[in-house]
Amino acid sequence: MAEQLTGLADDRALLGRTSTAERVSDILRSRIADGYFPPGTRLSEDSIGGALGVSRNTLRESFRLLTHERLLVHELNRGVFVRVLTVEDVEDIYRTRALVECAVVRGLGEPPYVLDGLAAAVEDGRLAAREGDWKGVATANIHFHRELVALAGSERTDELMRSVFAELRLAFHVVDDPRRLHEPYIARNAEILEVLETGERETAERLLAVYLEDSLKRVVEVYLRRIGDEG
């Protein structure tokens, strides 16, 4: 925990504008997304508040924000911890993804569609893969699916799914072979993009559904193995 705190102190410079609690949330959120605070880590009010130079009240407000986002869990009188997803959580995340993402594709109007965001995400994934940056590939994959949801043009749906994807990241952090988990989907994302460019919604929806089933299966498999190791 010691080197994590010294690292955190570097972020102190970022505390400049807007609400302090929100800025602290932003910092912690990205630290969690990066895996800097792995799932299960306990976030002590004292040490983090000290490292960031904010009061306990402000820090607790940040914790509440992130707890609402499901990134932290709060245990009474024990503090907050980076969420550890259960297999059931992962399954529910994919259930929600399948429901919403497939519905988005299904609900697309007549082609052509504005697919720039999707194309950019695919390209990002390829670049990251070329450099062996598997965490970057994971980010690009998530980006792809966020862009996909964005095609629905619904602010609320976007936000709903944003938090679901943030949760999904938590699951990715417990795997030790990110390449095997993320690489295969670069090509499948590209395939979905191609099909959408031709305007074949139904094919895209079917591809997406199978994609999500496969991905869930893979993640759960790795997840169970990983949990088994620790037990």
The site for DNA (CB under 7 A) is made up of 19-21, 42, 44-47, 53-58, 60-61, 74, 76-79
d(CA 141, CA 189): 8
Q: Which two tokens stand for residue 149?
A: 């949801």
Please name the residue ranges forming H helices in 69-200: 87-106, 116-130, 134-150, 155-172, 178-182, 184-198
- The distance of closest approach from Cβ of residue 23 to DNA in the complex, given in angstroms and rounded to an integer, is 8
CA distances from 208 to 102, 115, 118 (A): 7, 16, 14
Question: Among residue numbers 133 through 162, which ones bind a second copy (CB under 8 A)?
Answer: 152-157, 160
- Residue span binding a second copy (CB under 8 A) among the ranges 33-41, 55-63, 119-127, 192-200: 55-63
Residues 93-132 that bind a second copy (CB under 8 A): 93, 95-96, 98-100, 102-104, 106-107
Query: Is residue 45 a contact point for a second copy (CB under 8 A)?
Result: no
**By CB under 8 A, residue 206 contacts a second copy:** no
Kind and range of the H or E element at 22? helix 20-33
CA neighbor of 194 nearest in space, from 91, 133, 113: 113
Burial of 121 (0-12, 13-18, 19+ CB in 10 A): buried
64 binds a second copy (CB under 8 A): yes
Q: Which residues bind a second copy (CB under 8 A)?
A: 16, 18-19, 57, 60-61, 64-65, 68, 76, 92-93, 95-96, 98-100, 102-104, 106-107, 152-157, 160, 164
